[in-house]
């Protein structure tokens, strides 16, 4: 095992990525210098092939970022990126009473630029938070919740479990199936089933989310109006 | 007479004049006896990363500490990049200090998870507890606060700065006993629900030393005057909601109350502000040094009227409603200004909703000779403006610019903003904190690595082109302590080539970059004094090794891997087996 020298000379502490099992031995000055100049040589290329490929592959969900050499153009689709712009959530929520120039009345909960709600799941040791305005449909929300809580719902990550959680429809099944039911607390403090009301109405009235085990969902109130989306029929009382 | 022959108590007395941690650390390195003397008389410790050291180790080395400051989550947790349940629990520290520091007086926490249980333990175990500051914390409710109120007999300061507090209904303020008269500072601005006004009033009345009072939004404006008359000695005030029906009697009552507060230096609050009531504070404006209008949704003319009356202003936080015209007025009036923060009123809007541009910042940099700290959200910038700002204010210490659209170029030339930020680091030789935005290539990092020798914290997003960018920063910034990066094409090479640098820093955060899991593993294996934590909510990161890790948090530590990691955090360390939840 290569010992890392105590003097923090660049050469001693340079690490290089070899294949697993290959130890990087110091073959003398030559090899070390090569590693460093490899880095310096990146100056001549605009970007290393490896890097740009990786950037493309994991950024396919977001709008394509213009490269420095491209003529600067506005990205085609405006998707919200988590963490940007760097504004704290309580500031976003506090500014919910945005004064539109028309001076219309807006109550405290309406007109929010963000809608952060806590999400808890029965059996999970900790809460999550989601910004409902990041999603446009119930399916988007379920996808996100499924990803968030999959590490709890899949017990031991044996190879079958691994295949399961990578299978997106399995995630949806978890939420749509009888095992877990998403519920929410609305503005009036009542617990309702998620999915009963149009999406926009849901975002405005949802204060927090709770994913309960299916059996506990029996007896929950149905939507107050006639919702178009009835994902689950549950008998009340 | 040589220094080493001075008696211990003389040395201890001399050391007591040395407050700074850095200096104390240097003292402890002089010789063994100085190390021993120093550690017994150190009274305050600051732990910038609660996982860097264990509470037991801290207590063992410094047995007589009276004040502890801890920080938990990485800074990007403020912007929802760190999933809930990541960590930062204070309970183990409280439990250790309940036994090890029974005379602890002060606890200051930032970005930590604090439970009611923790607060109850503080209240029960620390008999001389005086100061509790919970900054951007969460996990507790007003039940925990009730325990503090009821049992901390000598409480001087309770500050809940921007914390997320669960508010089950409960009259926690009235849990302060009638015998409590020691309060100096109370900040409850972040509380969402009502507090009992009569309990609040009684508390204010019986605490003659109360200097700071930050109310929450639920306290109505009609009641503010009454409170102020009970506490005319206040130095810092945060109003509650600043709107009421327009009535002359309310106004004159309020104005009269404010005019009685001769010591007032700091104002904040101003939720839902009705411009007609702003003149009520005019009588105190001439003495104001700090003004936080970051919740005040009023337009530029009203802001100008207010700010123009505050010639002693040193610190202004405001929304971008102030616009360039308001900043021009600020520059003309407030020659003592040190810090300016301009927050976005509509951060998610597509189009600018206010006339605030780079011009406003340029004007302030020209007009305010003491300006040293800037946080500025805007929608356009130019290299020229940045160069001008840099040349105007070489004494800048903190410069955080957020151009709202990622990768926005210089609006005049369509070039990257490399040269502009380059000028900032070149001219501002004492720059300690920098946040970048706009279109940026590797060149800006070359400038930073070359010139920003005092830089301690750097925040980067959507910038750079290759590993060279990261390499410049890691190899060039001698004073770097914290580096946080999101959405940049930085990968393995620069990270591995600068592995040793990471041990000289507090922490490195990288999310949505190009670091491979293999590189993380290598780093974790080779650097035993670093915790290399991969955060991935969709499953074990080695199940998809061809994809870059989503989020990476690396920090130095002397205690090895932490034991409270949730299922979505993997410590990629010495044993290459992953921990699964």
Rounded average pLDDT over A30-53: 36
d(CA B197, CA B241): 14
Q: Over chain B, what is the mean pLDDT?
A: 94
Is pLDDT at A164 greater than 80 in this prediction?
no
The more confidently predicted of residues B361 and A230 is: B361
Band (pLDDT 50/70/90 cuts) for residue B2 is low
The whole-number pLDDT of residue A193 equals 87
Point out the least confidently predicted range of A122-136, A161-175, A197-211: A161-175
Confidence (pLDDT) at A215: 60
- Is the predicted pLDDT of residue B205 greater than 90, yes or no? yes
pLDDT at site A204: 85
CA distance linking residue A107 with residue B91, whole number of Å: 39
What residues of chain B lie within 8 A of the CB of A90, using their CB? 162, 164, 190
Average pLDDT over residues A224-228: 38
Give long-range contacts, CB 8 A cutoff, 24+ apart: B289-292: B289/B265, B289/B313, B289/B314, B289/B315, B289/B336, B290/B236, B290/B265, B290/B266, B290/B314, B290/B315, B290/B316, B291/B266, B291/B267, B291/B315, B291/B316, B291/B317, B291/B318, B292/B238, B292/B266, B292/B267, B292/B268, B292/B317
Q: Which of B466, B487, B527 sits opposite A48 (nearest CB)?
A: B466
CB-nearest to A89 from B80, B346, B548 is: B80
Q: By mean pLDDT, which of A28-32, B220-224, B318-322 is the weakest? A: A28-32
CB B302 within 8 A of CB B325: no
Distance from CA of A212 to the nearest CA of B (A): 19
Instruction: Name the average pLDDT for chain A.
Output: 56
Among A10, A17, A54, whose Cβ lies nearest the Cβ of B522? A17
Taking 90 as the threshold, does the pLDDT of residue A220 lie above it?
A: no
pLDDT score of B213: 98
Q: Which residues of B touch A153 (CB under 8 A)?
A: none
Q: d(Cα B234, Cα B208) in Å, to the nearest integer?
A: 10
pLDDT of residue A11: 42
Query: Model confidence at A13, in pLDDT bands (50, 70, 90)?
Result: very low
Q: Which residues of A are less than 8 Å from B512 in CB distance?
A: 58-59
pLDDT tens figures, A54-110: 333 333 334 444 444 444 444 444 567 889 999 998 787 655 543 333 333 333 333
Contacts of A3 in chain B (CB under 8 A): none
Whether the per-residue pLDDT at A49 is higher than 70: the answer is no
**CB neighbours (10 Å) of residue A84?**
19
pLDDT tens for each residue of B531-574: 999 999 888 888 888 899 999 999 999 999 999 999 999 999 76
In angstroms, rounded to a whole number, what is the distance separating the alpha carbons of residues A49 and B34?
A: 56
Q: Which of B463, B469, B429 is nearest to B445 (CA)?
A: B469
- Are the beta carbons of A172 and A149 closer than 8 angstroms? no
Cα–Cα distance between A232 and A235 in angstroms, integer? 10
Cα–Cα distance, A162 to B70 (Å, whole number): 38
* DSSP count for chain A of H helices, then E strands: 8, 5
* pLDDT at position A229: 37
Which residue matches tokens 């976005």? B344
Q: φ and ψ at B37, to 5 degrees?
A: -60, -45
**Residues paired with residue A121 on neighbouring β-strands, in sequence order:** A211
CA–CA distance, B459 with B468 (Å, rounded to integer): 17
Q: Residue B341: which of B273, B407, B268 has the closest Cα?
A: B268
Judged by average pLDDT, the poorest of A40-44, A48-52, A79-83, B205-209 is A40-44
Q: Are B515 and A25 in contact (CB under 8 A)?
A: no
Ranked by mean pLDDT, the top range of A87-91, A157-161, B100-104 is B100-104
- pLDDT digits 0-9 by tens, B384-434: 999 999 999 999 999 999 999 999 999 999 999 999 999 999 999 999 999
Is residue B55 classed exposed, middle or buried when 0-12, 13-18 and 19+ CB atoms within 10 A define those classes? buried
Q: What is the DSSP letter of B536?
A: -
User: How far does the CA of residue B366 sit from the closest CA of chain A (Å)?
Assistant: 27
How many C-beta atoms lie closer than 10 Å to residue B208's C-beta? 11
Min Cα separation A108/chain B (Å): 10
Smallest Cα distance from A46 to chain B, Å: 7
Residue B79's CB is within 10 A of a number of other CB atoms, namely 18
Q: How far is B14 from chain A (nearest CA, A)?
A: 34
For residue B485, give the nearest of A196, B472, B175, B392 by alpha carbon.
B472
The helix or strand, by DSSP H or E, that contains position B306, with its residue range, turns out to be helix B300-307
Task: Provide the pLDDT for residue A175.
Answer: 54
Distance CA B368, CA B329 (A): 11
pLDDT score for A189: 77
Mean pLDDT within B342-351:
89
Output the six-digit token pair for B281.
Answer: 């504070």
Tell me which chain B residues have a C-beta less than 8 angstroms from the C-beta of A13.
499-500
Contacts of B428 (CB under 8 A, 6+ apart): B390, B393, B394, B395, B396, B397, B399
Three-state secondary structure of B192-238: CCCCCHHHHHHHHHHCCCCCEEECCCCCCHHHHHHHHHHCCCCCEEE
Nearest to A15 among B459, B516, B523 (CB): B523
Express each pLDDT in B270-284 by its tens digit: 999 999 999 999 999
Contact B80 A91 (CB under 8 A): no
**A226 CA: distance to closest CA in chain B (Å):** 32
Q: Which residue has the tokens 């929608």?
A: B379
What pLDDT score was predicted for residue A216? 62
Of A42, A72, A162, the CB nearest to B409: A72
Residue B503 tokens read as: 């041990």
**pLDDT on residue B434:** 98
What the block records as the tokens of B91 is 């309970």
Give A-chain residues touching B514 at CB under 8 angstroms: 51, 54-55, 58
B78 vs A157: CB contact, 8 Å cut-off? no
- Of A225-234, B139-148, B163-172, the poorest mean pLDDT is in A225-234
Identify each DSSP E strand in B272-386 by its residue range: 290-293, 315-319, 339-343, 373-378
Structure tokens at B273: 């502000």
> Which pLDDT belongs to residue A115?
74
How many whole angstroms separate alpha carbon A130 and alpha carbon A148? 10
* Residue B575: pLDDT band with limits 50, 70, 90: low
- R_g (Cα) of chain B, nearest Å: 25
From the list A15, A36, A156, which residue is nearest B522 (CB)?
A15
Put simply, the answer to whether B439 touches A127 (Cβ < 8 Å) is: no
Question: What is the pLDDT, as a whole number, of residue A22?
Answer: 37
For residue B542, how many other CB atoms are within 10 A of its CB?
Answer: 17
| DSSP structure class, residue A194 | T
| Nearest-by-Cβ selection for B467 from A13, A42, A94 | A42
Give the span between the Cα atoms of B183 and B124, in whole angstroms.
19
Calculate mean pLDDT across residues B147-174: 91
Per the CB < 8 Å rule, is A95 touching B345? yes
Across the range A191-219, mean pLDDT stands at 80
Q: What is the ipTM of this complex?
A: 0.89
Average pLDDT of the residues in B72-77: 97
The answer, yes or no, to whether residue A18 has pLDDT greater than 80, is: no
Interface test with A, best of B465, B534, B540 (most A CBs within 10 A): B465
Whether the per-residue pLDDT at A158 is higher than 80: the answer is no
pLDDT category of residue A182 using cuts at 50, 70 and 90: confident
């Amino acid at each position: 095992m290569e010992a890392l020298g105590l003097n923090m000379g660049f050469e001693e502490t340079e690490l290089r990525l070899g294949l697993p099992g290959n130890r990087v031995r110091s073959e003398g000055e030559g090899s070390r210098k090569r590693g460093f100049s490899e880095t310096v040589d990146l100056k001549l290329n605009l970007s290393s092939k490896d890097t740009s490929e990786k950037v493309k592959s994991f950024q396919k969900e977001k709008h394509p970022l213009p490269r420095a050499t491209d003529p600067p153009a506005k990205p085609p689709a405006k998707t919200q990126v988590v963490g940007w712009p760097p504004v704290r959530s309580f500031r976003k929520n506090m500014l919910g009473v945005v004064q539109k120039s028309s001076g219309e009345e807006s109550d405290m909960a309406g007109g929010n630029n963000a809608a952060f709600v806590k999400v808890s799941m029965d059996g999970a040791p900790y809460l999550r938070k989601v910004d409902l305005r990041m999603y446009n449909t119930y399916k988007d929300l379920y996808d996100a919740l499924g990803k968030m809580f999959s590490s709890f719902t899949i017990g031991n990550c044996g190879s079958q479990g691994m295949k399961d959680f990578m299978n997106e429809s399995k995630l949806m099944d978890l939420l749509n199936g009888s095992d877990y039911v998403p519920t929410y607390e609305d503005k009036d403090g009542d617990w309702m089933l998620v999915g009963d009301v149009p999406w926009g109405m849901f975002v405005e009235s949802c204060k927090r989310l709770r994913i309960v085990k299916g059996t506990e969902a029996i007896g929950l109130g149905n939507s107050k109006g006639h919702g178009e989306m009835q994902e689950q029929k549950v008998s009340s009382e | 007479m040589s220094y080493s022959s001075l008696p211990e108590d003389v040395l201890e007395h001399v050391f007591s004049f040395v407050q700074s941690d850095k200096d104390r650390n240097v003292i402890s390195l002089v010789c063994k006896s100085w190390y021993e003397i120093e550690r017994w008389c150190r009274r305050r410790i600051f732990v910038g990363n609660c996982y860097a050291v264990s509470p037991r180790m801290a207590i063992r080395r410094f047995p007589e500490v009276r004040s502890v400051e801890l920080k938990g989550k990485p800074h990007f947790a403020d912007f929802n990049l760190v999933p809930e349940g990541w960590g930062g629990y204070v309970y183990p520290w409280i439990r250790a200090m309940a036994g090890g520091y029974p005379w602890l007086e002060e606890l200051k926490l930032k970005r930590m998870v604090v439970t009611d249980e923790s607060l109850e333990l503080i209240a029960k175990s620390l008999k001389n507890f005086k100061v509790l500051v919970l900054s951007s914390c969460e996990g507790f409710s007003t039940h925990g606060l009730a325990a503090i109120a009821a049992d901390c007999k000598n409480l001087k300061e309770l500050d809940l700065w921007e914390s997320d507090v669960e508010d089950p209904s409960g009259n926690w303020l009235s849990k302060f006993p009638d015998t409590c008269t020691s309060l100096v500072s109370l900040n409850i601005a972040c509380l969402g629900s009502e507090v009992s006004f009569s309990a609040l009033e009684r508390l204010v009345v019986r605490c003659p030393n109360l200097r700071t009072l930050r109310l929450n939004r639920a306290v109505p404006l009609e009641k503010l005057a009454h409170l102020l008359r009970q506490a005319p000695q206040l130095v810092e005030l945060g109003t509650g909601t600043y709107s009421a029906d327009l009535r002359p009697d309310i106004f004159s009552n309020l104005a009269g109350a404010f005019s009685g507060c001769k010591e007032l230096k700091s104002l904040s609050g101003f939720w839902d502000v009705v411009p007609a009531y702003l003149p009520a504070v005019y009588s105190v404006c001439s003495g104001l040094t700090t003004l936080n209008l970051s919740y005040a949704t009023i337009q530029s003319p009203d802001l100008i009227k207010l700010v123009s009356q505050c010639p002693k202003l040193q610190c202004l936080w405001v929304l971008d409603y102030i616009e360039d015209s308001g900043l021009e007025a600020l520059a003309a009036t407030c020659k003592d200004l040190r810090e300016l923060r301009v927050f976005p009123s509509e951060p998610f809007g597509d189009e600018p909703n206010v006339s605030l541009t780079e011009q406003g910042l340029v004007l302030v940099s020209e007009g305010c000779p003491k300006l040293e700290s800037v946080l500025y959200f805007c929608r356009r910038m130019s290299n020229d403006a940045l160069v001008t700002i840099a040349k105007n204010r070489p004494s800048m210490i903190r410069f955080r610019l957020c151009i709202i659209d990622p990768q926005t170029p210089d609006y005049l030339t369509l070039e990257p903003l490399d040269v502009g930020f380059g000028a900032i680091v070149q001219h501002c030789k004492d720059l300690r904190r920098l946040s970048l935005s706009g279109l940026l290539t590797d060149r800006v990092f070359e400038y930073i690595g070359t010139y920003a020798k005092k830089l301690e914290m750097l925040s980067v997003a959507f910038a750079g082109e290759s590993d060279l960018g990261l390499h410049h920063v890691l190899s060039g910034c001698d004073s770097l302590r914290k580096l946080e990066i999101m959405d940049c094409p930085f990968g393995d090479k620069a990270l591995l080539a600068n592995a040793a640098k990471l041990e000289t820093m507090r922490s490195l955060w990288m999310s949505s970059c190009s670091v491979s899991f293999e590189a993380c593993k290598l780093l974790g294996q080779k650097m035993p004094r670093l915790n290399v934590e991969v955060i991935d909510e969709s499953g074990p990161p080695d199940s998809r090794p061809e994809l870059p890790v989503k989020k990476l948090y690396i920090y130095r530590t002397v205690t090895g891997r932490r034991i409270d990691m949730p299922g979505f955090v993997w410590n990629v360390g010495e044993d290459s087996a992953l921990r699964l939840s």
